[in-house]
């Protein structure tokens, strides 16, 4: 049996152990998930902010979050995240020494993403003017103190800012991320769904992961299933 067929059979098996309501909820959320937009976090050091960003990503249907750890370890505050990180794919770049920003950007560009630094710049555009239809986008947010690093700025393809109307020059990172994702996830759904929705293979992989998290004693059940094959 091929791996894809095996996964399909395992999904059908594990489906028996969730309620109909739970299954329908999982499927409806999966239909709204996207990898057309992704979020990149560079050297975030406050657990509260890190967790709030993850919660916003999950709430707005973003499946992937890329975490760059050059100097600061990415720590999640469970009281804020409320388990949302378990429904996301978190990709961490945390090798000792420098180079994690470069590695993350190169990997994302290789996957077809344009790197959008969320920082004021001579060539920036306002959030409302960002062209979401121009291609897959990775939005890079810097840390709480220094913002996006100079290295990341040099590697970015585009620059975007949230227009400010008051005396303050910027929002907290978790607030900024929520504003950006709210606007762009709304604009995203004006596009052809085939452009931003997950393909069937991606859906299957994520569905299996979510079922494993939803079913009690999933490891034991899966072992039993594979013994019967």
Please tell me the distance from the alpha carbon of residue 94 to that of residue 68, in angstroms, as a whole number: 6
> 202 near 173, Cβ under 8 Å?
no
HSE, side-chain direction, 13 A CA sphere, residue 182: 10
> 75 near 52, Cβ under 8 Å?
no
Tokens (6 digits) for 115: 């790197």
- Does the annotation list 118 as a binding residue? yes
Rg (CA), the chain: 19
Please tell me the distance from the alpha carbon of residue 191 to that of residue 185, in angstroms, as a whole number: 10
Tokens (6 digits) for 215: 């079913």
Please tell me the distance from the alpha carbon of residue 91 to that of residue 210, in angstroms, as a whole number: 17
- Does the annotation list 162 as a binding residue? yes
> 188 near 196, Cβ under 8 Å?
yes
For residue 90, give the DSSP letter. Answer: E
Q: Residues within the annotated binding site for S-adenosyl-L-methionine?
A: 118, 162
Q: Residues within the annotated binding site?
A: 118, 162
């Amino acid at each position: 049996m091929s791996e894809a067929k095996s996964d399909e059979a395992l999904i059908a098996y594990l489906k028996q152990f969730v309620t109909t309501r739970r299954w329908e909820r999982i499927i409806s959320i999966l239909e709204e998930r996207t990898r057309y937009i992704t979020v990149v976090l560079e050297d975030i050091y406050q657990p509260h902010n890190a967790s709030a960003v993850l919660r916003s990503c999950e709430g707005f249907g973003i499946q992937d979050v890329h975490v760059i750890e050059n100097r600061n370890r990415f720590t999640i505050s469970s009281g804020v995240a409320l388990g949302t990180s378990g429904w996301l794919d978190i990709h961490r770049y945390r090798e000792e020494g420098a180079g994690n920003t470069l590695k993350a950007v190169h990997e994302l560009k290789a996957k077809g993403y344009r790197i959008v630094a969320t920082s004021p710049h001579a060539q920036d555009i306002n959030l409302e003017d960002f062209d979401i239809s121009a291609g897959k986008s990775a939005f890079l947010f810097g840390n709480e103190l220094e913002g996006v690093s100079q290295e990341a700025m040099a590697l970015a393809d585009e620059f975007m800012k949230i227009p400010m109307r008051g005396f303050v020059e910027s929002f907290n990172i978790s607030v900024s991320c929520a504003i950006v994702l709210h606007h762009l996830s709304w604009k995203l759904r004006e596009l052809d769904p085939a452009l931003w929705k997950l393909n069937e293979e991606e859906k299957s992989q994520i569905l299996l992961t979510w079922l494993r998290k939803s079913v009690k004693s999933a490891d034991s059940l899966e072992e039993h299933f594979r013994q019967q094959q």
